[in-house]
Amino acid sequence: MEETTGACRLRTIGYKLWYGDFCALHETTLDIPSNRITAIIGPSGCGKSTFIRTFNRMNELIPGVRVAGEVLLDGQDIFRLDVVELRRLVGMVFQKPNPFPKTIFDNVAYGPRAHGLRDRNRLAEIVEKSLRSAALWDEVKDDLSKSGLALSGGQQQRLCIARTLAVEPEVILMDEPASALDPIATLKIEELLQTLKKDYTIVIVTHNMQQAARVSDFTAFFMTDENRSGHLIEYGPTSRVFTNPREKTTEDYISGRFS
């Protein structure tokens, strides 16, 4: 694709997905560049969450799902990778913060422990590094044994980001990560994304178009057709998509003229 210069971390080629007989996502060919933030926008039901759940094979957990086409991570077919390893490489942060009912420390240490790490010092290092990267360390460093659930919503979401970072992923998928947060907590997440993209490739689904415009380098716009199937309509640099989109459907959607 002409505008996504630089290394491509994720790639879909003619990727298609059905729920039973219903085609939820039409052929989608898209390159997601490394160390950039790619926003996925579009109305409810357009397949944007389905699309990002492809990358850590979460769709497979839904009965009746069928896919076609290729999905590559660093050039490798993700369907041939070990799914546990894939989910380590491709982490996910959800709309509602979902810390485990454990201490802050144990929340962050959960992933490394699940991958077999037992060394207490090494775990402590990882917890500190991850909490620092998630811009939460200064707020919780004196209270790591406090329950993750005792934190504020915004802190909980950053704890979930820290938990994702603890297993050293390459890609972070975010499904509406700030939609349950107030503007201050949202700003913290948005600023955090700009720091994280230096080390990670980020794909974010958002309903908030101003947020997509603010945080992302690239924007992909999905839309439903008359059969309620999702289509990729347009993909390009955010600066262009929001000032001079190529497709009228994109223009209408981003400028708030819904049909």
Partner 1 sequence: MARETYENRISEILGSILRLGKVVSEALKQSVEQLSRRDLEGAALLIERDEEINRMRFQIEEDCLTLIATQQPVATDLRKIASVLEIATELERIGDYAKGIARLNIFIGQKPLLKPLVDIPRMCERARGMLEKAVEAFVREDAAAARAIPEQDQLIDELYKVVQRDLIFFILKDPGSIDPAMALLWVAHNLERSGDRVENICERVIFTVTGEQVDLG
- The residue ranges that bind partner 1 (CB under 8 A) are 209-210, 213, 242-245, 250-251, 254-259
Q: Which is nearer to partner 1, 105 or 242 (CB)?
A: 242
Closest distance between partner 1 and the C-beta of residue 221, in Å? Answer: 11
Quickly tell me which residue has 């290729």 as its tokens.
Answer: 70
What is the rounded CA–CA span in Å between residue 55 and residue 184?
30
92 pairs with which residues across the strands? 173
Name which of 31 and 234 has its Cβ closer to partner 1.
234
Q: Which residue has the tokens 């980001």?
A: 161
Q: Least Å distance between CB 232 and partner 1?
A: 18
The DSSP 8-state label assigned to residue 101 in this structure reads: S
* SS3 call for 92: strand
CB of 39 to partner 1, least distance (A): 13
Q: Is the Cβ of residue 227 or residue 259 nearer to partner 1 in the bound state?
A: 259
Q: How far is the CB of 255 from partner 1 (least distance, A)?
A: 5
How far is residue 219's CA from residue 212's CA, in Å, rounded to a whole number?
Answer: 7
Secondary structure class of 157 (helix, strand, coil): helix
In the bound state with partner 1, the residue whose beta carbon lies nearer, of 227 and 244, is 244
Closest CA to 172 of 38, 3, 25, 11: 38
Judged by beta carbon, residue 194 or residue 239, the one nearer partner 1 is 239
In angstroms, give the least distance from the CB of 22 to partner 1: 26
